[in-house]
Structure 1
Amino acid sequence: MKGSMRENGFRAIGGLTRQLTSGLVPKGRKGAGKGGGAPLHRLKADWSAIVGAEIARASQPEALLASRGARAAHGAGKTLRLRVAGAASLEIQHMSGRLVERVNGYFGHRLIDDIRLVQGGIAPAPAASTTPRLPDPDPASARRIAERVETVQDPDLKAALARLGTRIAASRRSVVLGGLGTLLLARAPRAQQPTEEQARALAVRPDDHVLGKPDAPNLIIDYFSLTCPHCANFAAAVLPGVRKQFVDTGQARFVYRHFPSDSIATHASQLAECAGPNGFFDTIDVLFRSQVDWLTASEPEAEMAKILEKRGVAAGQCLTNDRLLDKIIADVETGQTLGVHQTPTLFINGRNCGNPGGPDAIGKILRDMDR
């Protein structure tokens, strides 16, 4: 019975389980979870868009390797093992620093610090006849892409980001591609009166995780995924300022709601719920700050459990607890009702503001609302 409940629960999460896990190596598949897991799979899938077609023809991501020795002790990122065709190895070696920047820019945080080249044959790209050309984005999307990348100084990186933005727009894979879709294609929400169901979803619920005073005049609801790099950036760089400027001063309440973008994020959310109401926000902070470590581990769930158990969270039974999963499903259902498509998505006093930026941007939104 419990197994059936969990199966139905995962099917219900976002109503998008197949779509959201399509960018991940399936569990049980040979090689899954080894040498980098989900981030490596994303690198392989979008290597051409990240580095450009010319470099992609001569190189292939092969593995993400953990740092060792002193670098590991100082929290260094991973090393990308890159297979290169012999004739191109010298040129790619000279470009390694730039490639590190492009990879980290794609993920939105420091995933790698170094690239290690190994010479070998490169598998040919699929024939054109088996790879249908994606349709061009509509003119409005094309203009938004161009505007978003205009400030990028590196011309090669600008071109790669524009190509990747075009691919996202054409294929509608912004959720699977994580925060880069937010960076390039954030949509302006349509102003409309919420339905009765949406109004209920925009209200604070008894099981919500809330920071701030009950009588605060403003409400910020954040839908997040623990595998989303831009959510990790929000937690580390934006939320502390939001708490200081708005929550601690009594101006706003802040609510975190789960909207996991893949099965690993769902398990991470279950582990966060396992900490209980009093430990939830601290646990979320720990998971976001260690995101690179557990997301690139061979067994992400085991690595997360190890990190949390060191902090006193008994994570052993969390992943089989249907009550925790029910809470996550309930959060996702409210997100579906409100039209959430990507993370992070913030609702400020009922308005979908997407990922607005830092505390100053949020403050401007509140001033524009005369709040």
Structure 2
Amino acid sequence: MKATKKVGKGDAVKTEPPKRAFTARSLSALLPAVTRPAFRKRSPATVTLFLEWGSIVGPAYASRTLPKKLTAGMLTIACRGPVAMELQHMQAGLIDRINTWCGPNTVVRLRLTQDFQAPADSGRTKRVKPAAVAPVSLPDMPEGPLRSALEALGSRISERGGRRR
């Protein structure tokens, strides 16, 4: 579709639309316009910290702690039980580990709070106990510890429904 432009009294002159550049552009030139609105709300370091919390502190602490807020280099961590005291003693190492994951000087201080609320559900469903399954027997094998072990293994696999967990 061609654009028109008025030149004088009622005269219309047809003009070409602006030319498009059909050259390849680098992804790094396009990303800032896309990510700017998201990064106004949360910095990439904060997002990385919240998403990778379990990997940063390990599963033992991840189940009892939760990062709440990162403001001006101070990370607020909600803790359950006596884990706050443990984290207080390992504070320097934890700050170094967080800064290794999220970038230098992301966290300067920790603020530990006692929070007895359970962390948000991670999407796991509760395990349902399967119905009783008949034990597996191997009549073709001779009696012995190998037969007993294989029957126990077969029974356990049958209880799980053949799925690996």
Structure with higher helix content: 1
Task: Report 1 or 2 for greater relative contact order, CA contacts < 8 Å, sequence distance ≥ 6.
Answer: 1
**Radius of gyration: which is bigger?**
2
